[in-house]
Amino acid sequence: MDNELQRRRLLKALPLTAAGLVLAAADTSAQQLRVEAGKILVAYYSRTGNTAVIARQIRRAMDATLFEIKTETPYPEDYQATVEQARRETQSQYLPPLGHFVADIDGYDMVYLGMPIWGMTAPPVIRSFLRAHDLSGKAVIPFITHGGYGLGNCMDVLHAHMPSADLHPAFSMEADQERRTLDKVSDWLTEK
């Protein structure tokens, strides 16, 4: 499915799901709406902010709880150093320690799980997150940004790390890639 079609589907799906929550509340009370809405978690990892933009939009549309996944030790500022570290960690299946944890993960029925693609797969910290939080029985809807090379084996990795979750197809889109920006700026600086 092309990115534009996926994007339109997500935008269409968001108000529908939100409407579902309103309906759920209509026959009960405003209190119930808050309880229902509170059951949605938007958990995401984002190094340069692309995935974070989508996470914040989903949070607003769904009145969900937002949780930024962080490593205990941040990745290097330097792009190439991060690529190298991520490559080593993926190859060795290393699980970088998490900076913090979701309080009461059992309280959520639905989890929007956001990430960029790193080295044609999920970033190592996503495996750490899934190891530390049991998403069995929950609806999990991934949203993924990449630099133009697609999802690689990301969905297989997600499935392998939460085999008992109800894993939905991902919303994905190409987003600005730091490397492209760095290359363009380097060219510009060397041309001068």
Site for ligand FMN, rule CB under 6 A: 46-52, 82-83, 86, 116-120, 145-149, 175, 177-178
Find the shortest distance in angstroms from Cβ 28 to ligand FMN: 37
Give 48 or 57: the residue with its C-beta nearer to ligand FMN. 48
Alpha helices in 27-153 (DSSP H): 30-37, 50-62, 79-91, 124-132
CA–CA separation, 61 and 15 (whole Å):
7
Give 14 or 83: the residue with its C-beta nearer to ligand FMN. 83
CA–CA separation, 102 and 161 (whole Å):
17
Find the shortest distance in angstroms from Cβ 64 to ligand FMN: 18
Give me the residue label for tokens 């044609």. 120
Give 109 or 178: the residue with its C-beta nearer to ligand FMN. 178
Give 32 or 79: the residue with its C-beta nearer to ligand FMN. 79
Find the shortest distance in angstroms from Cβ 15 to ligand FMN: 24
Q: Which of 156, 160, 109 is nearest to 137 (CA)?
A: 109
Q: Which of 64, 172, 75 is nearest to 128 (CA)?
A: 75
Find the shortest distance in angstroms from Cβ 76 to ligand FMN: 10
Kindly calculate the radius of gyration of the chain based on its CA atoms and give it in whole angstroms.
18
Indicate the helix (H) or strand (E) that contains 10: helix 3-26
Find the shortest distance in angstroms from Cβ 147 to ligand FMN: 3
Under DSSP, is residue 109 helix (H, G, I), strand (E, B) or coil?
Answer: coil
Give 34 or 87: the residue with its C-beta nearer to ligand FMN. 87
